Structure 1
Amino acid sequence: MKIIELPIEFEFNGQKNYIYPSLIILNNDLTLVDTGYANFITLIENEILKSGYKMMNLKNIIITHYDDDHIGSLYDFKEKYPWINIIAIEIESKYISGEMKSERLIQAEEMLKTMSNSEVDFGNWFIQQLKNLKHISVDEKVHDGDMILDDKCRVIATPGHTSGHISLYFPSLNSVITGDAAVNEKQELIIANPNFCLDVDNGQQSLRKIKNLKAETYYCYHGGKFSL
């Protein structure tokens, strides 16, 4: 069993950006953690293939939370590879499936009311991005503490960024996939953009929770791999 990060390069506002979805390899099965923005499926496929793996072996996609940079291409993956098992914590599944309006969209609409004129265009664009998301049902709903992937991976509730955010702990690898519970900024683990954190106090508690695991490696979606 091993975990590799998939560096996905893209341009935003004329600047080069990266996200780092994780790929878990267990026996011959692949599990992707988070799917990037809409239309990122080809970028992620290319990185998986470049790493020497085959898309036919992609068995699961785990979603850490419902933000558009994490579920944007989920619908496309399921449409192209219908056998994929989509895994998410039950709290987040209602937002991923579109059964309920997402907390992030509610937050964005509230923030728009107090934005300056120079910020309104971005605010409207961001709201539209969230409304354009293609929703899809979750196949396997998990809970805090559940052991998944042949009991090699423990689901850890790390709320704050969103109310149902999860991270993934791998005891045998002494590794954590953080989602947005932690970002790697200049080789330091910090909470993701506090302005988008729905509950900063919970976010700080969740950060302490995964730091207290004292893992050797933290796979951060933003900032990339952090090793002690």
Structure 2
Amino acid sequence: MKIIELPIEFEYNGQPNFIYPSLIVSENELTLVDTGYPGFLPLIEKEIAAHGYDMMNLKNILITHYDDDHIGSLYDFKAKYPTVTIMASGVEAECISGKVKPERLAQAEAMLEHMPEEQQDFGHWFVQQLKSLQHVSVDQTVHDGEWILNQQCKVIATPGHTSGHISLYFPELSSVITGDAAVRDGDELIIANPDFCLDRERADQSLIVLQNLQVKSYYCYHGGCQTL
């Protein structure tokens, strides 16, 4: 088994930007962790192909949490690759499938009521962005402490950024895929977007949990891989 970082470059507010989904390779089976913004399917496909892998071997898509930059292209992936198994925590599965109102949308709507006038355009855009995300049924829910992917990956609950956020621990690889529970900031690991954390205290605690694993590599969705 190995983990491959997928740097996806795009433009945001006129500036170059990156996200870093992860590809887990286990023999001939591929597992993609998070799917980028809406419309990012071709960008991710291209990056996977550049590493020499066939998308027809995509078996799983594992979602760390519900945010537009993590589930934005999930519907497109499921439509194009219908046999893929979509995995997420129970809390996030409820949001992804549309069974409950997403926490992020409720937060965005509440924040909009108090935003300064100069930020209102962004606030309305963000609310609409979240409302436009298409629902997808989650095939398999995963739980804290559960071993998945041929018993080589341990699911770790890392709430705070969202209630059901998960990270993925690979003891044999001395690696963690962090989602937004930790992001790379230079040579440090920090929490992502503190102002958007649904529970800052829990987010701080989750970051400590990941740091205490003392692995060699943290694969961060924002900032890229941090190797200690």
Q: For this structure pair, what is the TM-score category when the shorter chain's length is used for normalisation?
A: over 0.9
Equivalent residue for 1:97? 97
1:154-169 matches, within 5 Å, as 154-169=154-169
CA distance in 1, matches of 2:79, 2:187: 37
CA distance in 2, matches of 1:187, 1:74: 31
CA distance in 2, matches of 1:149, 1:142: 11
Equivalent residue for 1:217? 217
1:18-33 matches, within 5 Å, as 18-33=18-33
- Unpaired segments of 5 or more residues in structure 2? none
Shift of 1:161: 0.1
- Unpaired segments of 5 or more residues in structure 1? none
Q: Among the aligned pairs, what percent are the same residue?
A: 67
DSSP-derived class of the 2:10 partner:
strand
Aligned residues: 228
Equivalent residue for 1:41? 41
Shift of 1:187: 1.7
CA distance in 2, matches of 1:31, 1:83: 13
Query: Which amino acid letter does the alignment assign opposite residue 140 of structure 1?
Result: Q
CA distance in 2, matches of 1:13, 1:87: 31
Query: Which amino acid letter does the alignment assign opposite residue 179 of structure 2?
Result: G
Equivalent residue for 1:50? 50
CA distance in 2, matches of 1:142, 1:18: 28
CA distance in 2, matches of 1:74, 1:226: 26
1:9 pairs with 2:5: no
CA distance in 2, matches of 1:216, 1:166: 19
Shift of 1:115: 0.5
CA distance in 2, matches of 1:140, 1:109: 29
- Give every structure 1 segment of 4 or more consecutive aligned residues whose post-TM-superposition deviation is greater than 2 Å: none
Equivalent residue for 1:132? 132
TM-score by length of 2: 0.99
Shift of 1:91: 1.2
DSSP-derived class of the 1:82 partner:
coil
Once the two structures are superposed, residues 22-41 of structure 1 have per-residue CA deviations (whole angstroms, 9 ceiling, x without a partner) of 00000110000000000000
Shift of 1:202: 0.2
DSSP-derived class of the 1:172 partner:
helix
1:125-204 matches, within 5 Å, as 125-204=125-204
TM-score by length of 1: 0.99
Shift of 1:216: 0.4
Shift of 1:167: 0.2
